[in-house]
Amino acid sequence: MLNTNLKHLNPATLSLLDQLRPWKVNQCRKSFPFLLLLSAPVFATSTDSRQFVEMPPEARATLRAEMLENQLALHLIISALAENRFAEAGDIVEKEMGISTMGKHRKLPQNARPGRFMPNEMHAIGRGSHVAASDFAKLANEAGPNDLPKLLAALQNVTGACIACHRGYRTR
Ligand code: HEC
């Protein structure tokens, strides 16, 4: 359940989540406990309170391509974890989402670089997701056979950032 999951997030991610205006989990839980139990991460408030972030179409296209890569990476990570291939999961995370990937759009034209158009708070969530990814990668590379729960908890810091940003911002 969402509440239990949140306990595992590191303090940095939790404070990011706290800062987000649409993050009204407690209110939602009071009104719709059963619904939330079934679909916690996809539960949305009835009006869209995400902040609109205007970007040129080129920047949106870059962001979208990156997002689809993120989604695929997450799928591959879970597959690797399920088969106890921990180091491989770590390598995927670092290569696709880790700190080493920050600034990879630097060579693109200005209007195709999404980071430039993000408000500070949104950008901070993005940077936080790279840090969480590298933390996970490090843990995964050192993990022993019984460390799956620890790795899953660390992976929640990565998925927590996806949720924090998606619940806070929209680009269209
Ligand atoms: C810093 C903000 C941010 C973070 C972090 C983030 N996203 Fe996104 N993502 C966005 C935005 C903005 C959109 C576009 C939403 C819109 O305008 O409708 C998006 C859209 C998407 C989409 C839809 C792509 C499409 O085809 O339209 C997927 C899938 C996605 N994100 C996956 C992820 C995953 C998985 C993670 C975490 C590993 C993640 N995102 C982390 C900001 C973020």
| CA dist., res. 93 & res. 161, Å (int) | 14
At residue 4, the pLDDT reads: 39
Q: Give tens-digit pLDDT for 73-84.
A: 999 999 999 999
CA-nearest residue for atom 31, ligand 1, is 67
Share above pLDDT 90 across residues of the chain, in percent, rounded to a whole number: 72
For residue 114, pLDDT over 70 is answered with: yes
CA-only gyration radius of the chain, Å? 17
Domain boundaries, the chain: 2-170
Q: Which of 166, 171, 172, 124 is nearest to 22 (CA)?
A: 166
Atom number, ligand 1, closest to the C-alpha of residue 125: 1
First to last CA, the chain: 30
- 67 ligand 1 Cβ < 6 A: yes
Alpha helices in the chain (DSSP H): 2-7, 11-19, 25-31, 33-39, 57-82, 86-97, 120-142, 148-168
At residue 12, the pLDDT reads: 57
At residue 13, the pLDDT reads: 58
Average pLDDT over residues 147-168: 97
What is the identity of the amino acid at 1?
Answer: M
